[in-house]
């Protein structure tokens, strides 16, 4: 048995030497670089496939972008003016026109003040705000608020405060039953044109 082991010992040493030689020479100098190259080629193929898929989807994305732009252009909820200054002037003109339309006479509703303000907002679209103070009788005020919020472009009312004037005119002693009201009147500017494909996924206003 011992002699048989003695005869096999050179073969064992030869096998060990072959394994060490592969590990030190063949694996590190040939196999490992080839495996790394194979991984790099696989990654490049994945990138190529991704780019090809994106290229195939490009017409659909461009069509969706065109739909979003058309919807934004036709949306009556946005103010028509291109900037805040013009939009502020148009908003005040809209208020004054609605006052004249719903008021039976000049004293039924008076515009006491209109002050543009830069109110902080987390809204996704640029907001144009004017602080309004009116003195109106209750019936006219109700019609005016309805006209402002139901017209086009769409306007919004916020931070409203009502106070009765409770004053009397001299002479005949006739009471002024009008209401003194203060509120913020605001609307939204149309968003600027977008050129990125990511706009195709944006929600409509």
| pTM for the model | 0.57
- What backbone phi and psi angles, to 5 degrees, belong to 165? -70, -40
Q: What is the dihedral of CA 188, 189, 195, 201, to 10 degrees?
A: 10
The domain over range 78-189 is classified in CATH as 3.30.70.60: yes
Where along the chain do its domains lie?
Answer: 1-75, 78-189
The burial class, CB within 10 Å (0-12 / 13-18 / 19+), for 68 is middle
Tens-digit pLDDT string for the chain (205 aa): 555 545 555 555 555 555 445 455 544 444 455 556 566 666 777 777 777 766 666 677 666 666 666 666 566 678 889 899 999 999 999 999 999 999 999 899 999 999 999 877 788 889 999 999 999 999 999 999 999 998 888 899 999 999 876 554 555 555 667 899 999 999 999 877 655 444 444 444 4
């Amino acid at each position: 048995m011992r002699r048989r082991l003695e005869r096999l010992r050179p073969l064992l040493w030869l096998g060990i030497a072959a394994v060490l030689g592969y590990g030190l020479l063949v694996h590190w100098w040939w196999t490992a670089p080839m495996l790394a190259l194979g991984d790099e080629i696989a990654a490049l193929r994945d990138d190529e496939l991704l780019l090809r898929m994106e290229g195939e989807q490009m017409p659909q994305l461009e069509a969706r972008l065109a739909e979003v732009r058309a919807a934004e252009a036709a949306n009556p909820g946005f103010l028509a003016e291109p900037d805040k200054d013009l939009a502020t002037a148009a908003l005040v003109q809209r208020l004054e026109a609605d006052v004249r339309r719903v008021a039976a006479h000049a004293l039924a509703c008076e515009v006491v003040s209109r002050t543009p303000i830069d109110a902080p907002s987390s809204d996704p679209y640029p907001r144009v705000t004017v602080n309004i103070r009116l003195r109106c009788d209750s019936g006219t005020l109700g019609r005016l608020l309805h006209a402002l919020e139901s017209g086009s472009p769409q306007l919004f009312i916020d931070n409203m405060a009502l106070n009765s004037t409770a004053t009397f005119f001299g002479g005949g002693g006739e009471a002024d039953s009008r209401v003194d009201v203060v509120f913020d009147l605001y609307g939204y500017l149309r968003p600027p044109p977008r050129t990125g494909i990511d706009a195709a996924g944006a929600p409509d206003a």
